[in-house]
Structure 1
Amino acid sequence: MSYPLSILDLSTVLPDQSVAEAVAATVDLARAAEEQGFARIWFAEHHNFPSIASSATSVLIAHVAANTSSIRLGAGGIMLPNHSPLVIAEQFGTLAEIHPGRIDLGLGRAPGTDQRTMMALRREPSAADTFPRDIKELQGYLKGESMIPGVDAYPGKGTDVPLFVLGSSQYGAQLAAALGLGYAFASHFAPQMLEHAARIYRESFEPSEDYPEPHFIAALNVIAADTAEEAQRQFELSQRFRIRQMLGRGRDLTEEEVTQLMHSPAAEQVLSMTKYTAVGTVETVRDYLDRFRERVQADELIITNAAPDLEARHRTLQLLGENVMVRG
């Protein structure tokens, strides 16, 4: 392997688990990832999901950063239209001042939730229309080159936190290329346009001071285990958890109800989102990662540690660390 491998963590709250327990597990996994040599861990902003504990993304990053020492941490991402660019510059500028050289900022334009929750966030439906301008305003604060005379981010000014555009369509690829920023594609749940977006980004990329060359990150799901049978068992558990998470919002589905839903059209649509999933022994997973990266010419891969079982997630990191990561 000759490319960085990173982690996207939603700080998943499992059934019968408290938020505090889920966050503690997130910290344990971050420490394990740091020990195994992963490049970075990103946390995603989602709202009104009882199974996701990363809604206050910058707060979670601060907690994990305080409990690790060297791994890069960031947002994958902050849904910028939910916030003012100044506030995000202040939050991530504060993180960068406390943990210099360790903070990233990935930016998305989706709400990270449903229409009703958008209203509770005080987000206007047209908020996404100003996404390009908002990125430039945010970048100006972080570089100490504010677009608004007399207004600066304190903290934040001059921290120059690295920015990435997140996306699952051609739009994000074109925007990241035009702005000369890194680009991360959400192929772990939106596989349809991966190869097209990767090509558009590279072909359209405009070099910038921060990114003289394009930096493309592709996401996928991973479950590695000591045996193919155990990996498959964890994969099936992860599918059931996804069905419970996506189709049971607002109610707690029983195991029988999940089983009945597994082969429904709605479930098939949900499960098709995980088209790019590496499952098996570490040799199988390593080969999958290499072929996947080569096909889309990714500069970096970012994985979701898809097993619902905490011990299985730790084992995935250990197997990847011992058998896949390049040691310096």
Structure 2
Amino acid sequence: MAIPLSLLDLAPIAPGQSARDSLAASVDLARAAEAAGYRRVWYAEHHSMPSIASSATSVVIGYVAAHTESIRLGAGGIMLPNHSPLVIAEQFGTLATLYPDRIDLGLGRAPGSDQATMYALRRNPASAESFPQDVQELQGFLAGKSLVPGVQAVPRPDAPVPLYILGSSLFGAQLAAKLGLPYAFASHFAPDALHQAIRVYRDTFEPSEQLAEPYAIAGVNVIAADDHDKAVDQMTKSYRARTRAFITRGPVARNFTDAEIDEFLASPSGRQLSQMTRYTAVGTAAEVQDYLETFAKEAGADELITAHHALDTADRIRSVQLTAGL
């Protein structure tokens, strides 16, 4: 692959698996990505989701960093309105002190949860409105140039932690361009504005101390296997599991059969859900690589962050390896 590849690990807790199993699998996946030459592994902040183990994102990063050697690790992303900038600066300053030149900090403004969970996090619904100011406050803490008189983030690493703006709309693209930061678009689950957002980002980018030229990352789903039919089977099982988790959120207790899930996916609501994963590479190594190269070119991306969705850890690791050409 000519374009740099990275990995988004959603730390999934598969049916019959524990959160401890999931976090052990995250270590195995990061080691595989490191050996395969991936640039970075990111973990996303999600709350109150029984199928995702990365809610304490900075803790997961530290755990994986302790079990890997060189690959960059980071948040893709921290939902900054859930936290004070000072706390995040302290967490990521600590990580970068322990693991120099290996830590990234991607920032988003979504809740990463539903409304009830948002309130449980003590988040003010209006907190997203101050996201641009909070990013700059955080940036100041990490660089030792605090915007809050008399307050500093400790520990502070020798070099500032690089910031990335995450988004799925034009807002993030415009903010990243204005602040001169790299921009990562969540096209792996919110594909609609991908091309326009990256175009706006590139057209309006202003150089900064961190970044001289625009740098765009695009998310894409991947299921690679040693033969095409096996990859398709893994995709079918994975998206059934994802759909089952989606439609059984809340008080619903029943377990839907595969036939019922397939019937839902064929409905208008199901097709809308399927459109969220429009950008998915599935097949053999050659098929996946061809898809990714075309996708990157059409999107105008400088780097791809790949989300591998096979349910079995060994299959996800194999997908990571095949995508990298191993």
1:51 alignment counterpart:
51
Query: 1:310 Cα deviation (Å)?
Result: 1.6
Q: Counterparts in 2 of 1:157-236, with a 5 A limit?
A: 159-236=159-236
Q: What is the Cα deviation at residue 258 of structure 1?
A: 2.7
Q: Partner residue of 1:255?
A: 257
The one-letter amino acid paired with 2:76 is: G
How far apart are 1:252 and its partner, in Å?
A: 5.6
What code does the residue aligned with 2:255 have?
A: L
Question: Cα offset for 1:320?
Answer: 2.1
Superposed displacement of residue 309, structure 1? 1.9
Give the alignment of 1:121-160 within 5 angstroms: 121-156=121-156, 159-160=159-160
- 2:282 corresponds to: 279
TM superposition shift of 1:3: 2.0
Match of 2:3 in 1: 3
Task: Say if 1:287 and 1:272 are closer, same or farther in 2 by CA, change over 3 A.
Answer: same
Instruction: Determine helix, strand or coil for the equivalent of 1:75.
Output: strand
The structure 2 residue matched to 1:316, chosen from 299, 314, 319, is 319
Residue 245 of structure 1 and its aligned partner are, at CA, apart by 1.9
Q: Deviations over 1:18-44 (max 9, x none)?
A: 000111111111111111111000000
Q: TM-score, normalising length from structure 1?
A: 0.96
Q: Return the offset for 1:219.
A: 0.4
Secondary structure of the equivalent of 2:223? Answer: strand
Q: Is the 8 A contact 1:141 1:157 kept in 2?
A: no
Amino acid at match of 2:305: I
Distance of aligned partners of 1:252 and 1:141 in 2 relative to their CA distance in 1, 3 Å threshold: farther
CA deviations on 1:238-297 (whole Å, 9 max, x unpaired) are: 110110121111346332543442323322221110000000111111110110011122
Calculate percent identity across the aligned residue pairs: 58
SS of the residue 1:304 aligns to: strand
Check whether the contact 2:94–2:157 (CA below 8 A) recurs between aligned residues: no
What is residue 111 of structure 2 aligned with on the other side?
Answer: 111
Whichever residue aligns with residue 262 of structure 1, its letter is L
Corresponding residue of 1:326: none
Map residues 3-82 of structure 1 onto 2, 5 A cutoff: 3-82=3-82
Matched, 1:267 2:270: yes
The offset of 1:158, in angstroms, is 5.2
Where 2:88 maps in the other structure, the secondary structure is helix
Aligned mates of 1:301, 1:259 — CA distance in 2: 30
- 1:307 corresponds in structure 2 to 310
Whether the 8 Å contact between 1:142 and 1:158 is mirrored in structure 2 is no
- Residues paired across the two proteins, number: 323
Give distance in 1, aligned partners of 2:270 and 2:248: 11
CA distance in 2, matches of 1:220, 1:258: 23
Alignment-derived partner of residue 87 in structure 2:
87
* Distance in 2 between residues matched to 1:252 and 1:163, nearest whole Å: 42
Instruction: Give distance in 2, aligned partners of 1:147 and 1:222.
Output: 41
C-alpha distance in structure 2 between counterparts of 1:228 and 1:45, whole Å: 32
How far apart, CA to CA, are the structure 1 residues paired with 2:26 and 2:194? 28
AA paired with 2:119?
M
Write the deviation string for residues 101-122 of structure 1: whole angstroms up to 9, x where unpaired.
0000000000001111111111
State TM-score, norm by structure 2.
Answer: 0.97
